[in-house]
A = this chain, B = another copy of it.
């Protein structure tokens, strides 16, 4: 049975994303049975995939309440250089207001969650939980655990899964300010995906620090009508001021126009690593299919 690692504790968005991904595998039909395994750090997940202990790992790759995406980019750039991205999954983020028992929102004295979840529900908190003090903790699961131990009118912000895990009541559903909130996860494995229509490719580049270094590279994409979907620069670890770029674009690394662009770009870089090509999934597409 295929094993897929995700970041614990159980009940957080990573477990939700893992379940979502397993469901999709089942619906797809052309996969063997798979099981989700909870690990305690991103590095443990990547190490287990590289060693072959796990077939796949699931990591948040954007806008997540589970730790900084910076950590994952650094791990991929500096430490785990064999793994590939084989798939992405866009998981709708729906926050709920949870407590041990039903309270009216104006009774709530403390609202506990991850800072990013609190930020995503700011409008709701200001309007309905105006009495409540905000308390930031490391994960939405930790928030739910704290609230489950409280006699006082405390509430946590988290998923329905976290409510289930800690036996909490949903006081109010869908409390995030932007209903279309979503988190992008990627599936890590030792091989990326075969070319299918609608692929994306992720790259790590390091370039010399000079004016125009990045535009020289981006022009190679633009000339071939290749659309970028994400770009980010990060200082290298050795000294502040030298930069790595993380770039996502539309197309598969085996498409001729992409191969062409990548071979031209190579001349402008100090190093280039293709993290993988994989089918792009939009949240809307997922919803239509579900």
How many copies the complex holds: the figure is 2
Query: How many A residues, CB 8 Å from partner?
Result: 58
Query: How would residues 216 to 233 of chain A score, 1 for a CB under 8 Å from any chain B CB and 0 otherwise?
Result: 101101100111111111
Question: In the bound complex, do residue A62 and residue B211 qualify as a contact, i.e. CB atoms below 8 Å apart?
Answer: no
Question: In the bound complex, do residue A238 and residue B180 qualify as a contact, i.e. CB atoms below 8 Å apart?
Answer: yes
- Choose among B116, B209, B228, B238 the residue that contacts A227 (Cβ–Cβ < 8 A): B209
Question: In the bound complex, do residue A230 and residue B233 qualify as a contact, i.e. CB atoms below 8 Å apart?
Answer: yes
A180–B209 CA distance with the chains assembled, in angstroms:
18
| Residues of chain B lying within 8 A (CB to CB) of residue A233 | 228, 230-232
Binding-face segment, A21-29, A130-138, A164-172: A130-138
Question: In the bound complex, do residue A115 and residue B235 qualify as a contact, i.e. CB atoms below 8 Å apart?
Answer: no
Question: Main SS of chain A's interface residues?
Answer: mixed
The residue in chain B whose Cβ has the minimal distance to the Cβ of A220 is B215
Question: In the bound complex, do residue A235 and residue B70 qualify as a contact, i.e. CB atoms below 8 Å apart?
Answer: no
The residue in chain B whose Cβ has the minimal distance to the Cβ of A178 is B237
- Choose among B41, B68, B211, B218 the residue that contacts A214 (Cβ–Cβ < 8 A): B218
A120–B90 CA distance with the chains assembled, in angstroms:
29
In A26-82, the 8 Å CB interface with B consists of 40-41, 43, 62-63, 67-71, 74-75
Question: In the bound complex, do residue B209 and residue A74 qualify as a contact, i.e. CB atoms below 8 Å apart?
Answer: no
A75–B119 CA distance with the chains assembled, in angstroms:
9
A203 at interface, CB cutoff 8 A: no
A219–B219 CA distance with the chains assembled, in angstroms:
8
A219–B216 CA distance with the chains assembled, in angstroms:
8
Question: In the bound complex, do residue A71 and residue B219 qualify as a contact, i.e. CB atoms below 8 Å apart?
Answer: no
| Residues of chain B lying within 8 A (CB to CB) of residue A282 | 240-241
Query: How would residues 236 to 250 of chain A score, 1 for a CB under 8 Å from any chain B CB and 0 otherwise?
Result: 011111010100000
Question: In the bound complex, do residue B63 and residue A70 qualify as a contact, i.e. CB atoms below 8 Å apart?
Answer: yes
Question: In the bound complex, do residue A240 and residue B283 qualify as a contact, i.e. CB atoms below 8 Å apart?
Answer: yes
A182 at interface, CB cutoff 8 A: yes
| Residues of chain B lying within 8 A (CB to CB) of residue A68 | 68-70, 115-116
| Residues of chain B lying within 8 A (CB to CB) of residue A228 | 211, 214, 233
A197 at interface, CB cutoff 8 A: no
A234–B218 CA distance with the chains assembled, in angstroms:
17
* A285 → B minimal CB distance (Å): 11
A115–B71 CA distance with the chains assembled, in angstroms:
9
| Leading 9 A-B pairs by shortest Cβ distance | A212-B222, A215-B218, A215-B222, A211-B227, A211-B225, A232-B232, A138-B138, A231-B233, A178-B237
